[in-house]
Structure 1
Amino acid sequence: MQTKIKIGIIGSAGYTGGELIRLLLNHPNVEIAFALSRNHANKPVYDIHTDLFGETNLQFTNDYSNAIEVLFLCLPHKESKIWIENNAISNTIKIIDLGNDFRLDGNFSQGEFIYGLSEINEEIIKKANYVANPGCFATAIQLALLPLAKEKLLNKVYTTGITGATGAGQQLQPTSHFSWRTNNISAYKTLNHQHVPEICKTLENLNKEKVQLEFVPWRGDFTRGIFTSSTLETYLSLESIYAIYETFYKDNHFVFVSRNTIDLKQVVNTNKCLIHIEKQGEQIVVHSIIDNLIKGASGQAVQNMNLMMGWNPKLGLKLKASAF
C-alpha cells in the first residue's frame, strides 16, 4: 500500500490554492499537512472555499512546518522568492511554485527551478527538486505552437486569447466586478502580456530562431477557461500540419488534437488541452483550449508533483468536464 506523503500549501485562500486543495483532497497518495493563509488562520478551509463544506475539516494556519515532502507556493507574483528567502525550508522538500518568480530565471540558493512544461521537460521534471509552473496563457499558447517549433516552422505569430474572470485572481478589482465583467469583453495588456517572454524562451529553444509573438489577450464574461487562436503562414498542407501535431502529441496524457471544432466547455474542470487547426490559403490558425485554474495552474502543478514523485502523471487528475 502506498504511504501517503505530506503536502504543504502556502497562499491557500486564493483561486489556485483552493483548486489545489480540491485536487489534493482526492489524490490517493497525498495528505495535506497544512494550508497556510496569513489572513484566515484558524478558520475552516470551507469558510473561504465554500464548495468544500462536508469534504474536509482542514483549517487554515499561519504556521509553517518542514514536516512535509512537497511544498506548493500559490502566492501572488513576485512574492514566492521573498517568502522562500524569509523562511528556513529544508533542502529535502520538493517545491512547486505557481507564481512567476522562477519561470525565466530558475536560480535558487538551494538549487535550480526547472520550467514545469511537461510536454517538453518531462524527463527533467522527474529528476527535479524545484519546479516553476508555467503561466496559464503561456501554457495554452505554448501547447498550441510546440509541434511547429520542433519542426523549425515558427517566425511571426499573431495570437489572440480570451480568459475567464478567475484569471484575474480572487482579490476584487474594478475589472472583476460582476457589473463590469458581465456582458462585456475587453482587451488588456495588448502586445505587452507578462507571459510572452516565457513563451518565446521555450519556443525559441526548439525553433532555434527568434519567434516574434504578437499577443492580444482579452477578458471574457465567464468564470474560467482560456481559448487562444494563433495565426501564422506556412506552405504545408493542412493534412501535413495535422500529421505533425498528432505525431508530437500521440503519447501525451492530457493534450489531444481534434479534427473537429473545439468548445471551451470540453476542458473546463479538467487538466486537458484540446487543439484544433484550420487553414485558408497560406494562413493557418491553431486553436487551443484549457481550464486556466487546472491545466493552467493547479492541475499542472499536481501533474508535475506526480512526475517528481515517480507516479503516473494522471494520478488524481481523472476529471470530467462540465459539458452542460
Structure 2
Amino acid sequence: MIEVTIVGGSGYTGGELIRLLQKHPKIEIKDITSRKYDKTPVNKVHPHIQGSDLVFKDIIAEKIDSDVIFTATPHGASMNIVPDLLETGAKVIDLSGDYRFRDISVYEKWYGIEHSGKIDAVYGLPEIYREDIKKAKIVANPGCFPTGAILANLPLSKNKLVKNIIIDSKTGVSGGGITPNQVFHYPNCADNVIPYKIISHRHSPEIQQELGEYSNVKVSFTPHLVPVIRGIITTSHSFLKDLSNNIINTKEDIENIREDIITLYKNQYKNEKFVKILDDDIPNLSSVRGSNFVHIGGFEIDENGRLVVISAIDNLVKGASGQAIQNMNLMCGFDEEIGIDSYGMRP
C-alpha cells in the first residue's frame, strides 16, 4: 500500500483528489494539509466526503512522510516547498504552474513571479510523456485549458499540417477555484458568457510550448467563462497547409480529407485509454463530467479549408486531479487507469 499526502487539500482540486483516492485500491491517504483548517475534519470543508475520519493538519514540508505527495497549492507557493518535499525521498506531483515551463523566463513573464530556482520536472501529459513520467521524481501536472487544447491539436502539429491554430475555450466556474470573487459571483456569471484575459492568459505559453515541440505552429488562445460548474469545451480553428491552393472543389473532396484527418487522430490515440475520438459526434460536457476522459470530435472542414476540432474534458478531473492520479499510477508502476476509469456522469 502506497501512502499519500495532499498538500493544500482544501480547494476543489484537493477535494477531487480525496474523492478519487478514497476508492483507489493501492493508496492510503495518510495526511491532508491546510494551515487555515488545521484540525478541521475534512467533511466540514468538503461536505461530499462523509464517513471519513480524515482531518486537515498543518505540517511543514520537511516533516511530511509519504511515498507520494500531491501539491495542490497556488502558483508561487509550490516552488517554496517542493525542494524540501523532494528531500524526503517522496515522489511529487505538483498541480500548480511552477514547474510546467522548460524556460523559467517564460514562467516569470506570464506569471509575474520570480522563480526561486530550477528543478527539472516532467510535464505530466501521459499521452506525450508516458515513459518519462514513469521514471520521474517530480511531475508538473498540466493546466486544465492546455490539456484539452494540446490533445485536440497534437496530431496536426506532429504532422506539420497547420501554421496557425486559434483556440477558443469555454470553462465552467469551478475553474476559478473555491475562493469567491466578483467575476464568479452568481448574478454576474449566470445567463452570461464572459471572455477574459483575451490574449494574455497564462496557459497560452504552455499550449505553445508543447505544440511547438513538433513544428513551427503558432498558437492563439482566448478563454471564456460560461455558467456551468464543471468542464471545458475547446474549439480549435486552423487552416490546413495542403488546402491553401484551393484544391477543395466538391463535397467529396472535403469528406475525403476529413476521413484522412480522423484516421490520423485515431492512429495517434489508438492506445490511449482516456482519449476517445468521435467520428461523427460533437463532444459535450455532460459526457465527460466527473471522468478522466477526453472526447475529441467535430473534424469539420469548410470551403475555405478551415478545420474545426473540438475537445471536451472535466477541468477538475482530466484537467487537474484525475490526471494527477494518472501520473501517480505511472510513477508507482500501477495500471494507468486504476481509480480513474469511471465513465462520465450523464445527465
Residue segments in structure 1 that go unaligned for 5+ positions in a row: none
Computing the radius of gyration from Cα coordinates, the structure with the larger value is: 2
- Conserved in 2, the CA contact under 8 Å of 1:106 and 1:112? no
1:10: which partner in 2?
7
Structure 1 CA distance for aligned equivalents of residues 17 and 190 of structure 2? 27
Task: Give the partner amino acid of 2:324.
Answer: A
Structure 1 CA distance for aligned equivalents of residues 56 and 226 of structure 2? 31
- Conserved in 1, the CA contact under 8 Å of 2:230 and 2:289? yes
1:101: which partner in 2?
98
Which of 139, 146, 155 aligns to 2:154? It is 146
Q: What secondary structure, in the 3-state scheme, does the structure 2 residue paired with 1:174 have?
A: coil
Q: What does residue range 5-84 of structure 1 map to in structure 2 within 5 Å? A: 5-54=2-51, 56-64=52-60, 65-84=63-82
Task: Give the partner amino acid of 1:215.
Answer: F
Runs of 4+ in 1 over 4 A off after TM superposition: 106-111
Structure 1 CA distance for aligned equivalents of residues 272 and 85 of structure 2? 37
Give me the TM-score of the superposition, normalised by structure 2. 0.88
2:233: which partner in 1?
227
Q: What RMSD in Å do the two structures reach over aligned CA positions?
A: 1.6
- Conserved in 1, the CA contact under 8 Å of 2:8 and 2:34? yes
Using a 3 Å threshold, how does the CA distance of structure 1 residues 245 and 47 change in structure 2: closer, same or farther? same
Q: How many residues align?
A: 317
Q: Which digits, 9 at most, give the CA deviation of each residue in 1:175-194, with x for residues without a partner?
A: 11112111111100101111
Q: Which digits, 9 at most, give the CA deviation of each residue in 1:156-180, with x for residues without a partner?
A: 1111110000000111110111121
Q: How much does 1:253 deviate?
A: 1.1
- Conserved in 1, the CA contact under 8 Å of 2:70 and 2:93? yes
Q: How much does 1:103 deviate?
A: 0.3
Using a 3 Å threshold, how does the CA distance of structure 1 residues 88 and 289 change in structure 2: closer, same or farther? closer
Using a 3 Å threshold, how does the CA distance of structure 1 residues 245 and 42 change in structure 2: closer, same or farther? same
1:297: which partner in 2?
320
Q: What secondary structure, in the 3-state scheme, does the structure 1 residue paired with 2:212 have?
A: helix
1:197: which partner in 2?
205
Structure 1 CA distance for aligned equivalents of residues 44 and 344 of structure 2? 25
Q: What secondary structure, in the 3-state scheme, does the structure 2 residue paired with 1:176 have?
A: coil
Using a 3 Å threshold, how does the CA distance of structure 1 residues 88 and 300 change in structure 2: closer, same or farther? closer
Which of 299, 302, 311 aligns to 1:280? It is 302
Q: What secondary structure, in the 3-state scheme, does the structure 2 residue paired with 1:52 have?
A: coil
Asked if residue 239 in structure 1 is aligned to residue 259 in structure 2, the reply is yes
Q: Which digits, 9 at most, give the CA deviation of each residue in 1:18-75, with x for residues without a partner?
A: 1111111111111011000110010110001001112x11000002433210010001
- Conserved in 2, the CA contact under 8 Å of 1:114 and 1:125? yes
Among all aligned residue pairs of Structure 1 and Structure 2, give the percentage whose two residues are the same amino acid: 38
Which of 184, 201, 223 aligns to 1:217? It is 223
Q: Which digits, 9 at most, give the CA deviation of each residue in 1:131-173, with x for residues without a partner?
A: 0000000000000011111101231111111000000011111
- Conserved in 1, the CA contact under 8 Å of 2:64 and 2:88? no
Give me the TM-score of the superposition, normalised by structure 1. 0.94
Q: Which digits, 9 at most, give the CA deviation of each residue in 1:93-149, with x for residues without a partner?
A: 100000000000388979521111111100110111100000000000000011111
Structure 1 CA distance for aligned equivalents of residues 18 and 162 of structure 2? 38
1:113: which partner in 2?
121
Q: What secondary structure, in the 3-state scheme, does the structure 2 residue paired with 1:99 have?
A: coil
1:155: which partner in 2?
163
Structure 2 CA distance for aligned equivalents of residues 280 and 105 of structure 1? 37
